[in-house]
Amino acid sequence: MDLPLSSVGTADTLPVPERPQRMHRLPRRFIDHLPEAAPAVAAAVSDELIPIIPRVRLIVHDVFKTITNAFHVLRFFPNRPSYDPEAFISPQDLANFPDSIQSSSTIIPEEIGSMLPPPYPYSSMSTYHLMQWVDSGSNLKSESEVNRLVNDVIRAPDFHAEDFQSESQFDVGREHRKLDAAINSSPLLKDGWHEATVDIRIPTGDDTNGVHVFSVPGFRYRPLVEVIKAAFTDAQARLFHFSPFRRIFVSPLTGRETRIYDELYTSDAWLNAQRDLQRAANEPGCKLEKVIAALIFWSDATHLASFGTAKAWPLYTFFGNLSKYVRAKPDSGACHQTAFFPSVRFITLGLGSRSSIISLSFQTRYRTSSAHSTSVQINRSPC
Amino acid sequence: MHEAWKLLLDAEFVHAYIHGIVIKCADGVYRRVYPWIFTYSADYPEK
């Protein structure tokens, strides 16, 4: 029987008869793909000055595209970013997998039971005293707070234990009172709370009287500009995004690009806003980079206690410059309390045939101890 | 409620909204920051 030559195996190419080798492979569903940050943006090159030609407006788009990561996701910037907060993201920030390298390197002392003189098992008497304090008294001292005490307070270069010698007995309450007095008298702390009265104009239905101005006191707020300034100079602002971009998934099979919508700074709204802002004329004499502070407001009634009726109506400000994965963490500190709206209650007391009386009363609910309560009566003239 | 917002969106904010504010950011670079309101999800006090 004639066979095509290609299909006939010769003695050289035939496999040596032995036990079949099997490739051991973990089933696909068991492979755990850990999240990965987008490839970092290389340090921005300094912009070269372009000679200005009169009456010609040149809009230069320094389009920038990162390489794809393990998930075939890349970032497309319409303008080269000056700052990339995602460069600081470590794998530990994205997943809570056990850090095997760190745990295995921890050396456990073998003789735990042996009793040795005081600094043991610590390196110095200072550490010994501190650890004695941590493990005694109130059990409300958390490890992170103790770390903070050591790293931020005791290790501060201008911290001197001798400063406490002059005072007979240290008193936290007395020091707090000093701080309160300083805050109340200082004009420098601008992002503090302000209190104002909201004037509501209510039509009385009377042509001669016009409107009745009803004042609601106890509207507490922080000036928005100061909130923005405080947020942008905060340590968390290291993670702020200033340059919007498109996140794109490139299919490894077809090479087709698919847009991913995930953050406010990858949205069209921001991209368009940024484009409009760059096209707008600069402030006279200002060559600073123009960026957007993305304000996200949120407000709803909030119960302050599990029992009772203590209630507040806060206004929170979040910044879309921050990734939602950071922003949504309850302990991230990304939420800026901006205002407390006073709630107003309308009570209709009675409706007479010749005149009707409408009474308004209000309470600033967030103050449980000294709640205001006033009422105003508006006499409506007979119809 | 709207009167309260009138107090929040004060003259200083409106000026910042139009002209931006210069802030030294966390990376030490000065930038002109323009506040931009993207979303406002809220439940108003009704009564």
The whole-angstrom separation of Cα A305 and Cα A308 is: 6
pLDDT of A278 over the 80 cut: yes
Q: Nearest C-alpha of chain A: how many angstroms from B19?
A: 7
Supply the pLDDT for residue A58. 67
| pLDDT above 50 for A373 | no
Per-residue pLDDT, A356: 40
- State how far residue A295 is from chain B, nearest Cα, in angstroms: 5
CB contact under 8 A, A293 and B35: yes
Q: How many CA atoms lie within 13 A of A69 on its CB side?
A: 15
Cβ–Cβ < 8 Å for A311, A365: yes
**Number of C-beta neighbours around residue A212 at 10 A:** 16
Size of interface A-B (CB pairs under 8 A): 130
B25 and A83 within 8 Å at the Cβ level: the answer is: yes
pTM of the model: 0.58
Burial of residue B23 (CB within 10 Å: 0-12, 13-18, 19+) is: buried
Q: Is the pLDDT of residue A162 over 50?
A: yes
Task: Return the half-sphere exposure (C-beta side, CA atoms, 13 A cut-off) of residue A243.
Answer: 22
Nearest to A219 among B4, B26, B37 (CB): B4
CA A343/CA A309 separation, integer angstroms: 13
Percent of all residues in chain A with a pLDDT value above 70, rounded to a whole number: 69
CB-CB under 8 Å, A233 with B10: no
Give the minimum alpha-carbon distance from A356 to chain B in angstroms, rounded to a whole number: 19
In percent, the amount of chain A with pLDDT more than 90 equals 1
**Is it the case that residue A176 has pLDDT exceeding 70?**
yes
| A82: nearest CA partner in chain B | B29
A266 C-beta neighbours (distance < 10 Å), count: 19
* Across B10-30, average pLDDT: 83
State the pLDDT at residue A364: 39
Distance of CA B2 to the CA centre of its chain: 15
**Which of the pair, A96 or A72, is modelled with greater confidence?**
A72
Cα–Cα dist A297/A336, whole Å: 10
Q: Which of A128-142, A162-176, A353-367 has the highest mean pLDDT?
A: A128-142
pLDDT band of residue A209 (cuts 50, 70, 90) is low
Question: Out of A52-66, A162-176, B15-29, which region has the weakest mean confidence (pLDDT)?
Answer: A52-66
pLDDT interval class at B2 (50, 70, 90): confident
Q: Which two tokens stand for residue A13?
A: 């190419």
